[in-house]
Every structure is written in C-alpha cells, then in structure tokens.
Amino acid sequence: MPFRIVLGDITKLSVDAIVNAANSSLLGGGGVDGAIHRAAGPRLLEECRTLHGCRTGEAKITRGYDLPAKYVIHTVGPIWSGGAHGEEELLRSAYRNSLHLALKNNCESVAFPMISAGVYGYPKDQALEVAVSTIRAFLEKNEMDVTLVIFDRESFRFDVRLYSEISGYLRNTYEDERAMSGSGSLLGDMARSVAFGGAAGSRRSIFSPKKKESKACRNAMDSAPMAEAPMEASDEAVAMADEERSAPTEPRMYCAQAMSAPMDLTHALENLDESFSQALLRMIDARGLKDSECYKKANIDRKLFSKIRSDIHYRPSKQTVLAFAVALELDLQETEAFLKKAGFALSHSNKADVIVEYFIANGNYDMYSINEALFAFDQNLLGA
Ligand code: ADP
C-alpha cells in the first residue's frame, strides 16, 4: 500500500528508512529521537557527530545500525511559535526533503513519526494535515510505500465534523442492522472503540508480528509489516479473512438505494463471463483513466496492479476491490456489482464497510480521507 497510517513504535518497523524528528544538533534528544538512538545503539550517535547538525526543514541520512530499518533519515521540524513564523512551510520541507533523500538512496519504503507534534508543540490536527498532504503530493509523482506512525491515539486528531457525521451514519446503520438481524450490540462496541483520548486502540498493530493469532490470515491482514509481506500473499490472506468475515454468521445486507436504481454499468458488471481483472481494466478505459492514475487513486501498489493486469483470474481481497471502486468513483449499486464479481458484498455488520459506504453515498472518493476515517474508527485501511 503506498500510504498507510499505523499505530505504534517507529523503531520496530522493518522499512528501508525511518525518519527521525531530530533537533538541529543531531546529537540526540527526547521523544522519538531518544527512542531511535536507544534502539539503534551508540554507533548511530557516532555517525551523527560527523554530520555537523542539520538546519530546520532539511534532512540528513545515516545507517540504521541495530534498528530493523536500513537507514535513519534525520530531519528537523519547526518549533511552533504561533503559526506566523513559516512553521507550515518548514514542516512541509522536512517531509519533502526526507522523502527525496529516501528516493535518492533507493528506499522503497519509509516511515515517519508526526514531526514537530511532540515537544516542538505543532498543533496535532495541523501537523497531521501537513504530513498527509505533503506525502500525498509526493506520492502523486513517485512510487514509494510511505507509513505515518501514530505513537498514541491522542496524537491523531481527525476532523471533528466528519467524525460526528460518520458516527451518526454508523449509529443509524447498525441499529437498522440490529433490528433486522437480531444481532448483538455492535453500537456499544463501536462507541467504546472510537472514543478519542482514551488508551491506545485495540487495533492489532503491525508492530507485533510474533503475536500468535488463531488464523494466519488475520495476522497477515492486521499485523504484517506491509513493506515486508509479499503483496500477493498479503492480498490473498486478506481475501481469506474477508471470506471468513462474510461467512453465514455475518448477514449480507444490500443497501436499499443499491437495490432500486437500475444503471447500465451495473448490468455490464453483472456479466458473469467477465472476471474481476477484466471488469477492472474495462472500467479504467471507460473512465478514461491511465493505469497509474487509477492505482494511485486506489492506494494500490504498482506491483500489485501489474499482477492484477496480467492475471485474468486474479482473486483480490475485499479491501482491494473497494479501493478500486473508490478510485473508479463507482456509486453504491456499481460498487455492489463490482464486489460481487470477486465474491464479496457490502455488509452492514462490518464497520469498515459502513464507513466506506458513507463516503460513497456522499460522493466523497478521496482515498486519503477514507483511510483517515477508517484509522480513526480503528479499521483496516483500503488499498493493497
Ligand atoms: P518533535 O520535537 O519534532 O515534536 P517528538 O519526539 O517530541 O518530536 O514528537 C514527535 C512525534 O513523535 C509525537 O507525535 C510523538 O508522540 C511521536 N513519538 C514519540 N516516540 C515515538 C516512537 N517511538 N514511535 C513513533 N512516534 C513517536
């Protein structure tokens, strides 16, 4: 997945490079800087001494030593002093320069902490917006796996208005579902798990790969460091997990809107002779999109897209299908037909499905917003 947000400790990540929110001396400090130096061992400080510091907004690279990451990119974010002292541009530069340095060093995967959002005092909501929009602009032109690591839930400030709208949609949809299926209290569960400011979420993180899970496939979906996992294996594992989730215990609910509005594209999608891969390629053409526009919009890795393109019988995961449905800006009925091609359906007893449905129903196809919302509600993100 080209962009993801995860909860955890950046020093545990097996990526090509992790970014350090350093101070300008580069001689170590507190927060994430201290954690990185402790995990990398004393040789990191020795190399840092040879760099003679780093100016705010710039970036320098060292080896990773005892870290699982090959490199550490040290950047210096701005200290917040009210917002009128060029803080935003300096923070954008810190992200941009780190990304370009990673590219120059042939890194395929890089992970960032929320630069300046700790002791440097940058307001967390604004720090998140700057991080996501700068990474996004970079990924529009470059191929790389970029992870934004959120250390604690309090650091993640999701748009309050959107959060309450989605909460309302979830409340209504779950209640409908409960009334119709007689299932247990999903709402209570949901309300507890999405509360902000509480303890770190219950989401299985990518940082504990050794943790035993009853199903290998769930492990791959929820805890695999995506950069390490072969894309096809992870996609298939996710597909298995999806199949489990949509087993008979989970009623498959179709949206009323989707059932009523006939659309040509839906009929075309229901052509049973056409595989998912064929349908996808045909719709990309029909939309007049370039392949790269489509897989980038879908937050899908280029290698995975090539695999889907070359394998007519490719079996995607539900997340992959939904990611392409968003990229193709399908409406709900078309999304249902597209999912059906790959053997899936939107379910109102699946929180992530309802959140995606909320965005599609509102004609909001911004994958970054969708994934931020999924993260805020402790759900797996869309994409490969
Ligand atoms: P800055 O001085 O740039 O504000 P800090 O280290 O104080 O840097 O904080 C930057 C961000 O890094 C904060 O959001 C903090 O919660 C987060 N952070 C601290 N330790 C870690 C860690 N081990 N992994 C990932 N993020 C971390």
Ligand 1 atom closest to the Cα of residue 33 is 6
171-204 in b/e burial notation, b at 16+ Cβ within 10 A? eebbeebbeeeeeeebbeebeeebeeeeeebebb
For the chain, what is the mean pLDDT? 81
Nearest C-alpha neighbor of 377 from the set 169, 130, 110, 129: 169
Which pLDDT score is estimated for 157? 86
Q: What's 263's DSSP letter? A: -
Least confident of 4-13, 49-58, 181-190: 181-190
Nearest C-alpha neighbor of 210 from the set 189, 230, 188, 225: 225
Among protein residues, the one with the nearest Cα to ligand 1's atom 8 is 118
CA of 97 to the centre of ligand 1 (A): 18
- Which is more confidently placed, 206 or 238? 238
User: Rounded to 5 degrees, what angle do the CA atoms 360, 243, 295 make?
Assistant: 45
Domain 3-157 fold is Leucine Aminopeptidase, subunit E; domain 1 (3.40.220)
pLDDT mean over 347-367? 96
CA of 83 to the centre of ligand 1 (A): 20
Pocket test for ligand 1, best of 13, 32, 73, 153 (most atoms within 8 A of CB): 32
Q: Give catalytic status of residue 33 as yes or no.
A: yes
Within this chain, domains 3-157 and 276-376 share the same CATH topology: no
CA atoms of 102 and 106, how far apart (whole Å): 6
CA atoms of 373 and 355, how far apart (whole Å): 8
CA of 140 to the centre of ligand 1 (A): 26
pLDDT mean over 328-345? 95
Ligand 1 atom closest to the Cα of residue 76 is 3
- In the structure, what pLDDT confidence band is assigned to residue 176 with cuts at 50, 70 and 90? low
Pocket test for ligand 1, best of 56, 73, 151, 153 (most atoms within 8 A of CB): 151
CA of 316 to the centre of ligand 1 (A): 36
Q: Spell out which residues line ligand 1, taking CB within 6 angstroms.
A: 9-11, 21, 31-33, 35, 77, 113-120, 149, 151-152, 155
Spot the catalytic one: 9, 16, 33, 159.
33
Residue 253 has pLDDT above 50, yes or no: no
CA atoms of 191 and 340, how far apart (whole Å): 30
Which pLDDT score is estimated for 384? 60
Ligand 1 atom closest to the Cα of residue 10 is 24
Which pLDDT score is estimated for 154? 83
Q: In what order do the strands lie in the sheet with 3-7?
A: 3-7, 145-150, 109-112, 17-21, 71-75, 59-63
What's at 371, amino acid-wise? N
CA of 231 to the centre of ligand 1 (A): 29
Which pLDDT score is estimated for 150? 97
CA atoms of 28 and 36, how far apart (whole Å): 9
% of the chain beyond a pLDDT of 70? 74
Token reading at 94: 């810190």
% of the chain beyond a pLDDT of 90? 70
What's at 129, amino acid-wise? E
- Which is more confidently placed, 310 or 273? 310
Least confident of 55-64, 162-171, 185-194: 185-194
Three-state secondary-structure class, residue 159: coil
User: How would you classify residue 105: left for phi > 0, otherwise alpha for psi between -120 and 50, otherwise beta?
Assistant: alpha
What pLDDT, in 10s, does the model give residues 262-308? Answer: 445 555 556 667 899 999 999 999 999 999 999 999 999 999 999 99
In the block, tokens 């869309």 appear at 382
CA atoms of 203 and 370, how far apart (whole Å): 17
Which pLDDT score is estimated for 28? 86
Which pLDDT score is estimated for 256? 32
Among protein residues, the one with the nearest Cα to ligand 1's atom 20 is 32
Residue 193 has pLDDT above 60, yes or no: no
What pLDDT, in 10s, does the model give residues 94-105? Answer: 999 999 999 999
Residue 255 has pLDDT above 70, yes or no: no
Domain definitions of the chain by residue range: 3-157, 211-270, 276-376
Which pLDDT score is estimated for 195? 27
Residue 257 has pLDDT above 70, yes or no: no
Residue 375 has pLDDT above 90, yes or no: yes
pLDDT mean over 340-356? 94
* CATH code, 276-376: 1.10.260
